[in-house]
Each structure stands twice: as C-alpha cells, then as structure tokens.
Amino acid sequence: MVDVDKAIIARLKKHGKVFEVLVDCDLALAVKAGKDVPITDVLAVQKVFADSRKALVATDADLEQVFSTTNHLEAAKDIIVNGEVQITAEHRARIIEDKRRRILGILHRNGVDPKTHLPHPMTRLELAFEEAKIKISEYERVEKQVKDILKKLMPILPISFEKKEIAVKVPPEFGIRAYPIVKSFGELKKDEWLDDGSWSAVIEIPAGMQNDLFDKLNSLTHGNVDIKILKTSKNEVE
C-alpha cells in the first residue's frame, strides 16, 4: 500500500479539465516506461481527483467524457501513462544519473575513434561530456538523446559508430567455455566444431566491445586463440 504522505501527483490536462491521482513515484515511472505493474499497487488512493489537494473527486460525467469510462482505475492508468508525473528532486537526479550512465555505456560499446578504430576510454568520454556541457533529459528516450549528444561531442571528440565481424578459433579444451562468452558479445553469424575438436565462430559485435572480447578469450585460453577481424562497417544508432 502506498503511503499517502509519500505519494506524488500524476496529472493530466485534457478537454479543459484537470485529472489527478496520487501515486508511488517509482511505480508510476515504471508504468510510464511500459512495464506491467498492477495499477492498484501504484495508487495511494484508488480514486481520480479533479483536485487532489482539496480531495475533490472527479465526477463520473467528466471521466466518461474524457476517458470513455467511469472506472477510476482505468482512468488512473491513462493519467499516469499520458500525463505528467511530478517527480521529486531526488528521483529526478537518480533518473538523470541512470540515463547518463546508459548513454556513456552506449557510446563506449559502439563508438570508436575514426582514426584508430579503437574505443575511446570511458574517462575520455566523461571529460568530453563535461567539456561539451552535455545536459541529460529525464524525459527523452536514451536512444534519442544519444543521437543529439553525438552531434555535440563531435567537435571535441570524433566518434564513429561501427560494428565488426570477427572470426575466432578456440582449441578443443576451451571450446565449450568459449561459446557462451563469444555469444554474449553480439550476433553469432556461424559456428562449427572442426575435425580436430577446435571450435570456430564468426560474430558481429559493436566495435567498442572488441578489446573486451579479445581480453576474455585470451584470459580463458592463456593466449592460445586465433582471432581475425573480417570486416568493419557503420553501425547506426537505433
């Protein structure tokens, strides 16, 4: 049960009317993100208000007009999904930091220096963020922000999004353990067990993950692994 004293307001303005519900911040944001959360777990009060501070409940006529239902739970979900959740400063800071880490992770995994075709160190990316005065939005999707941030970073830190097709060949004694490692890095194009018991594979991975893959395979096989980059191509941000 959501504590009313700790609940925040989710508000929707539509057809000249205002509708409010009292919600748990984290669960409401999860609903907005498309996660399957029971609406009864999200609400502090299972009513839709015209003014929650005055405890003024929305009329059935208004609910029917705007939401085509008089069911308060159905209307509440619509308000959360399509309205504005008034997050606290603490939640806002947490969301922004989480998105910042995710954006940096995408740039680090996928982006490389176009001259060397090697990934930029995370510390260099973080410094470029500071230099470019990058601002993270708590509302926009991470993927959308990556595209905009790339444009701002390019004058400071050229980044090319690339993917690489890599062939690996692992000795018989390491094949079974190498398979899940390789597969976890990207799309396994093909793999086969050779006549001598060795395991051979071709995988497509984000260019920035190349060194991590090499390090893991070298660590597993004590350097006894054949690795060959077959081709490099552009990798668009989704």
* CATH number of the structural domain spanning residue 51: 3.30.1250.10
Task: Judge if 144 and 216 occupy the same domain.
Answer: no
Both 76 and 9 in one domain: the answer is: yes
Mean pLDDT of the chain: 92
- 110 or 125: which carries more pLDDT confidence? 125
User: pLDDT class for 152, splitting at 50, 70, 90?
Assistant: very high
Q: What is the average per-residue pLDDT within 223-228?
A: 95
Q: Is the pLDDT of residue 12 over 90?
A: yes
What average pLDDT does the segment 81-101 reach?
A: 90
Q: Compute the 3-state secondary structure of the chain and give helix, strand, coil in percent, each to the nearest 5.
A: 45, 25, 30
Average pLDDT of the residues in 178-201: 95
Work out the average pLDDT over 29-38. Answer: 90
Check residue 237 and give its pLDDT: 56
Alpha-carbon torsion (38, 44, 46, 52), positive or negative: negative
Range of the domain at 175: 162-234
The predicted structure's pLDDT at residue 236: 65
Residue percentage of the chain with pLDDT more than 70? 98
Residue with tokens 């939005």: 137
What pLDDT shows up at residue 234? 78
Q: What's the structural domain count of the chain?
A: 3
Q: Is the pTM of this model over 0.75?
A: no
Q: How far is CA 111 from its chain centroid?
A: 16
CATH number of the domain encompassing residue 200:
3.30.70.240
Alpha-carbon span 147 to 171, nearest angstrom:
41
Which of 67, 85, 103 is the endpoint of a domain? 85
